[in-house]
Structure 1
């Protein structure tokens, strides 16, 4: 039984996942069990398989206590169906409840026979809390009066009720059961039911009984005969004449409290229902913490002295391709490298024949101080014409691939030069192992709670299952080695932060810094060549995303010197910011171009004194096949 309950718990979990991942299937299920289970009819039969009636509906309920003191019920239903005299039906569909008040009742079909006791072929299907019995087969039709005798068993059909709060009635156990399916489209000519209790339960009867009839929610009372005693067993009877489709009969029979042992699933246990959810939240929180720990680890590795001093010059051994590997979140790396080559006199940026395709011209007189600059020149001018001129293409995958490889070369070069290394965060690993451990414990507890038959534990099991999956999925990041700065790399990063600080401060402060240092390039009168210094910093301003601000500073410097930039556009123009913004946008687009994927497309597309009919367990469904 425990094995069966575990399988049912996982079946419920699977259904929950399918409902999330397969909305189309959920929509099909919403059409109703009758349409889902009905076999296809011949095209020449226009009638519906549910278009029949029952001549009689008789049921015998035998209820007793097992060795554990839990209620067990054996039911024999004798249903005489009246089918039309056409090839419409292959049988009936009887739906039986599989749970009651939060607990599985372990519904088991024992047999399906005809009026002579011969076996009737059938199959079962479980869906939406009902076990469907589909009689007959797809090859044979049935006509006229046809008898089906369905025998089945259920467990834990006696419910313990506590009326101590808000009610004057004392606590009691009760058999509160729907004897007819309220979800039915077939009328019944005659209905009769017998409810027989074993001696132990008969001795525990407290005399309280109720009977309700009518559609779901009706409080109209009906006559429940009994109890009559045959030997030591007590029997109750209820019967009626014609009943329209969906008209139910519900009985409530009371017992002394504690008569039937209740399943664990009905025992209040908020821990079992909530603990897996808490474990899922905690595990996901720890997993998130491990990701934060990785980021904190990378930030700690960027600190060398913790002191940032404004710098107005960048050494030749730190071209933008290499600096981008040290500066987290560096922007527009390729445009920055091209501008770097331009301001150092190795190429000139010109307007192309197309507005979004600027042209670069190679200049032979300048020397490339770093091998990365040499590699960048070769990659840029691979397709140059005889004059050393090439248009940066707006849509060329080959060019974009070269630029991507060039940027990757800067990353690998940073590692080979000892600026970066691969390392794993120990604190992140510890946090992630804690997350996995908590998820595993929560999942095991959730499975145990669901396996005990507690239906209320199913949502928590779903949550912890999803949480455990996400925790395992997230483990790749904290368990991996990440690129972080070495001690030398941290010093380089602080130096570049000093460059950023120099770019950020006011112009008067920058001039003071230039006059106070001896390393700046000097004019004959001993003052610093401001334009030369500012031009050299422009590529790094682009890396920091500060090209607009620095472009404005350069424009003012050019205007003060009454000349324009010699490395881009029209030298007579002082509109550097406009030219620079256009070039950065165009070159970034060219370096990151990716052709649209081929073939992609989009498409639109009962309580005693407070009960009612249909309020108990059982009931189920009836329809045609």
Structure 2
């Protein structure tokens, strides 16, 4: 009995567990950043980057927060945690097709603003719409040659089938061991059963195959995650990239190599994250004098909020932004309004993963509810 437990129970269980661990390692496709990055790539979008870092569950929430950070929508948390979160469209904004697709998924024709959305069939409908949105984004990445056209699913499927067959064999071995009072065989079979169950949890059901052109983008995102994970200014300076981190002249919150923000050499201190030297005037090109360096750094960090959500660092990053806002000490607190509204929305929703399931109505600046995708196109003149 002991020999049967080892040959038909423990050995197969150990083999498929090892194969499951190997499959997990292959699916991870880990990348190591060469330098710390301080902004996403210029042509990237939050949804596309979410799939490149395997953050599918956080993609929609991060993209919604990105709209808030870009001042295209406002997140309005209710006075009660049970109230749905309102989304208000800012006046005179222009949405991209991807952003409209996100709003359509969140506020489609079958959307309801009732608080029971979180537990009703409407949430299942929301999940289906968001899944369709991500599949469309995945297809776009495949067309660009960044990922394989099909997900890799056969290893996970095969190992799970073997695991279920193994559990059936182990159940029979346990029954025979109990009938024959073969306690050593029973213990070994139970160990084998635990290994088989572990295989089911360890083995990924599928994964994306990232192609060589995606390597640089994934390294960039890994460098951005490293930056977001840092907290103290001294550590940020210590890990400063050779290219510097001035604000890019054509997009608030982005970065260019030092010395390119103003057409000349970098000034002393311009290599600090979020430095305002030479290029901070790009933040508000038509609003008078350039902001101070701390304010420019705040805007740079605020633009990274969606990526903090992707990497699961939103709580730490919002805390950092609040500290920076307090350090600026300006009488005009309007610049910190986005951080406050996002923080309140996340608190009301119970976290980033619940944010999209907690949204209520989509309204315009007058508070009038925009109904479905037809209302979206009508409101935006499309």
> Could you state the TM-score of these two structures normalised by the residue count of structure 1?
0.39
Structure 2 counterpart of 1:537: 304
Residue-by-residue CA offset, 1:378-398 (whole Å, 9 max, x unaligned): 3344479xxxxx996432246
1:522 aligns with 2:277: no
C-alpha contact (below 8 Å) 1:350/1:359 kept by paired residues: yes
Matches within 5 A, 1:191-590: 273-279=1-7, 280-299=9-28, 301-303=29-31, 306-315=32-41, 317-328=43-54, 332-352=58-78, 354-355=80-81, 356-369=83-96, 371-382=97-108, 393-396=114-117, 397=120, 400-401=123-124, 403-408=126-131, 409-418=133-142, 419-421=146-148, 422-423=151-152, 482-505=207-230, 506-508=232-234, 510=236, 513-515=244-246, 517=258, 518=260, 522-523=280-281, 529-559=296-326, 560=328, 562=330, 563-565=332-334, 568=337, 579=344, 581-585=346-350, 588-589=353-354
Q: CA deviation at 1:546?
A: 1.3
- Distance of aligned partners of 1:463 and 1:576 in 2 relative to their CA distance in 1, 3 Å threshold: same
Q: CA deviation at 1:551?
A: 1.1
- Distance of aligned partners of 1:501 and 1:527 in 2 relative to their CA distance in 1, 3 Å threshold: farther
- Matched residue of 2:350: which SS? helix
C-alpha contact (below 8 Å) 1:420/1:486 kept by paired residues: yes
In 2: Cα distance, 1:484 partner to 1:366 partner = 36
- Distance of aligned partners of 1:362 and 1:434 in 2 relative to their CA distance in 1, 3 Å threshold: closer
C-alpha contact (below 8 Å) 1:283/1:434 kept by paired residues: no
In 2: Cα distance, 1:429 partner to 1:361 partner = 44
Q: CA deviation at 1:275?
A: 1.1
In 1: Cα distance, 2:88 partner to 2:213 partner = 36
C-alpha contact (below 8 Å) 2:76/2:341 kept by paired residues: no
- Matched residue of 2:30: which SS? coil
Q: CA deviation at 1:477?
A: 8.9
Which is richer in helix? 2
Q: Which runs of 5+ in 2 are unaligned?
A: 247-256, 262-273, 282-288, 359-382
In 2: Cα distance, 1:489 partner to 1:587 partner = 26
Q: CA deviation at 1:307?
A: 3.5
- Distance of aligned partners of 1:514 and 1:307 in 2 relative to their CA distance in 1, 3 Å threshold: closer
Structure 2 counterpart of 1:73: none
- Distance of aligned partners of 1:432 and 1:360 in 2 relative to their CA distance in 1, 3 Å threshold: closer
Q: Which runs of 5+ in 1 are unaligned?
A: 1-272, 385-389, 594-625
C-alpha contact (below 8 Å) 2:76/2:85 kept by paired residues: yes
In 2: Cα distance, 1:479 partner to 1:350 partner = 37
C-alpha contact (below 8 Å) 1:335/1:584 kept by paired residues: no
In 2: Cα distance, 1:465 partner to 1:579 partner = 48
Residue-by-residue CA offset, 1:150-196 (whole Å, 9 max, x unaligned): xxxxxxxxxxxxxxxxxxxxxxxxxxxxxxxxxxxxxxxxxxxxxxx
C-alpha contact (below 8 Å) 2:74/2:87 kept by paired residues: yes
- Matched residue of 1:360: which SS? strand
Query: RMSD over aligned Cα, in angstroms?
Result: 4.8
Residue-by-residue CA offset, 1:3-35 (whole Å, 9 max, x unaligned): xxxxxxxxxxxxxxxxxxxxxxxxxxxxxxxxx
- Matched residue of 1:352: which SS? coil
- Distance of aligned partners of 1:436 and 1:580 in 2 relative to their CA distance in 1, 3 Å threshold: closer
In 2: Cα distance, 1:414 partner to 1:297 partner = 20
Which is richer in strand? 1
Bigger Rg, which one = 1
In 1: Cα distance, 2:183 partner to 2:298 partner = 71
In 2: Cα distance, 1:465 partner to 1:530 partner = 57
In 1: Cα distance, 2:336 partner to 2:121 partner = 26
In 2: Cα distance, 1:551 partner to 1:479 partner = 32
Matched length: 297
Q: CA deviation at 1:424?
A: 5.7
Q: CA deviation at 1:586?
A: 6.8
In 2: Cα distance, 1:550 partner to 1:479 partner = 30
Instruction: Say which structure, 1 or 2, has more relative contact order (CA 8 Å, 6+ apart).
Output: 2
C-alpha contact (below 8 Å) 1:357/1:586 kept by paired residues: no
- Distance of aligned partners of 1:415 and 1:531 in 2 relative to their CA distance in 1, 3 Å threshold: same
